[in-house]
Amino acid sequence: MEPDRTEDVIAQELAAREVTARFVEVRARIAQACEDAGRDRASVQLVAVSKTFGAEHIAPVIKAGQRVFGENRVQETAGKWPALRAAHPDLELHLIGPLQTNKVREALSLFDVIQTLDRPSLAAALAKELRREGAAPAPRLLVQVNTGEEPQKAGVAPGEVDAFLAECRDTHGLAIDGLMCIPPADEPAAPHFALLAKIAARHGLKTLSMGMSGDFETAIALGATHVRVGSAIFGGR
C-alpha cells in the first residue's frame, strides 16, 4: 500500500471512531434526559440528521445501531441513501427540510416520514400524488409550525394550525401524526416547545418533533417524541 493511501485509511478510521463516540454520547444524554423527566426511554426517538455528510460518516452510526435518519434535501437524499438503504432495509428516513410541490413524487419514493408539511398547496400535492395508481405508500406526516411567527421561516402560524389540520383531514384525506417546530435561533427554545406540545395535545396528536443539538434535553423535558440531532453527532457542517 502507498504511504499516502495508508494515511487516508487511518484518517477515515479515526473520523469513524469520533462520530461513533459522539453518537454514543448523544444516546446517553437522551437516556439521562428521559430519566430526569420521568419518561420511558422508548418514548423518545433520535433522528440523526446527516445532511451534508457522506456515507463514510453515516456508515459508522448505522453500525453503532442507529436506524432513523433525517435529511433536508430531496436531491441530496436521492444521491446518497438508496445504496445505504439497499444494504440496510430497516432504515427509516425523515424529510426535515422544505418540500417543493414538484418534488413530491420523488420525496414519497425516498422518505418514510415527512416532517415539513407546511402549506395548503403541499397538502394538495401530497394528496393528489398518493391517490395516483402505483403511488408509494403514504408516509407519516407532521405539520411544521412556525412557533416564532418568523416571516422567513416555513411553517403554519400557531393561530392557523387548527384550520390547516382540518383542511388536511377533511379536504385532502391526509392523516396527520403530529407537529414539528424549529424555534427562532435567538430565543430560548422552551416556550416554543411548550406551545407546540400544547397545540398537539389540543388535537390529540401524539408525535412531537422538537429539539436539536443545542436543546434536545429541554425538548425531551417538554414532551418531544422525536429529537433531530445533527452536529452533536456528525460534527460541524
Ligand X SMILES: *Cc1c(COP(=O)(O)O)cnc(C)c1O
Query: CB 166 → ligand X: shortest distance, Å?
Result: 25
* Residues 228, 217: Cα–Cα separation, whole Å: 11
Contact 58, 51 (CB under 8 A): no
Q: Which is nearer to ligand X, 182 or 195 (CB)?
A: 182
Q: Which is nearer to ligand X, 158 or 211 (CB)?
A: 211
Footprint on this chain of ligand X (rule: CB under 6 A): 49, 51, 72, 96-97, 182, 212-214, 228-232
Query: CB 16 → ligand X: shortest distance, Å?
Result: 19
Q: Which residue is nearest to ligand X (CB)?
A: 230
Q: Which is nearer to ligand X, 46 or 221 (CB)?
A: 46
The residues facing 92 across adjacent strands are: 68
Query: CB 48 → ligand X: shortest distance, Å?
Result: 9
52: left (phi over 0), alpha (psi -120 to 50) or beta: left
Q: Is 143 helix (H, G, I), strand (E, B) or coil?
A: strand
Element (H, E) at 8: helix 3-37
Q: Which is nearer to ligand X, 191 or 214 (CB)?
A: 214
Count of positions (residues) in the chain? 237
Query: CB 23 → ligand X: shortest distance, Å?
Result: 12
